[in-house]
Amino acid sequence: MYFKSAAAATLALILATTASGAVAQTAIVADAPTAIAPTYEATETSEFSDGQASAPPTVAPAAAAKPKSEPTVDGNFMLYEKISQESVKTLITQLDQWARKNPNRPFKLMLNSPGGDVLASFALIDELNHLRATHHRLTIVVYGMAASAAGYLLQTADERIIGANSTILIHEISGGEQGKLSAMQEAVAYYARLENQFLQLIVRRSHLTMEEIHRHIDGHDWWLSADEALAAGLVDSIEKVPPVSK
């Protein structure tokens, strides 16, 4: 079950995408409501597009692939995968190790992510803010896409840069709940609060009001090119493309 608004909860058999990316089927249980973790993620067919906008296809990493968050000694980090508890734990561990050895030094996160787990995203946002508060200036550069939760993560940076051919996706939160009506109503309110937390990140850093954002994302996926993202205040600059030598 996906909720497009606080009024959209219904009792039904749920076929939903979990935070781990697996497909799970859950039947209605009268006494033991079970929540499906809310996610912000670009998918091949968006739950919220209502036929007007679809995310481009994404290629899932191989099951045996190593985490794609790789640090270097000069303070460059990469997040080129879905935001999950595992990927965030790996990146936070690397960030903490680097920060202890490099006090007061700036660092850069190169970002190419379809989004993912909401709570894992907030954990990473809090970690990045902690490092910024301890005199580590953060630059985030988008290469490819910063979709869903990754688009909100981008707003954490002191400097936000996007590649000329990269894109940003902003859309509604996705989650599910089964069980008693009261439990589902509580879940909808919880998801709405999480979504508001994300949207406040954009309001604080961009040229957009909350009303303008909702006009774009309520029932829709909002894809922005590099130029559109700059005009909206979602990034500070577009990385310059050097001329091609003849």
Report how many helices (DSSP H) and strands (DSSP E) the chain contains, helices first.
6, 12
The per-residue pLDDT for 103 is 95
- Residue 224: phi and psi, rounded to 5, are -125, 130
Question: What is the per-residue pLDDT across 194-207, written as a single tens digit (0 to 9) for each?
Answer: 999 999 999 999 99
Looking at the chain, list the stretches that DSSP marks H as alpha helix, in order from N- to C-terminal side: 85-101, 118-133, 149-153, 181-205, 210-217, 226-232
The per-residue pLDDT for 227 is 98
Question: Where do the domains of the chain lie, and which CATH numbers do they carry?
Answer: 14-238 (3.90.226.10)
Q: Could you tell me the CA-to-CA distances from 164 to 90, 109, 111, 120 in Å, in that order?
A: 29, 17, 14, 28
Local confidence band at 193 (pLDDT 50, 70, 90 cut-offs): very high
The per-residue pLDDT for 68 is 53
Local confidence band at 177 (pLDDT 50, 70, 90 cut-offs): confident
Local confidence band at 67 (pLDDT 50, 70, 90 cut-offs): very low
pLDDT at 31 over 70: no
Q: Which residue has the higher pLDDT, 168 or 30?
A: 168
The per-residue pLDDT for 185 is 92
Local confidence band at 122 (pLDDT 50, 70, 90 cut-offs): very high
Residue 203's SS3 state is helix
Expressed in angstroms, the distance from the first to the final Cα of the chain is 55
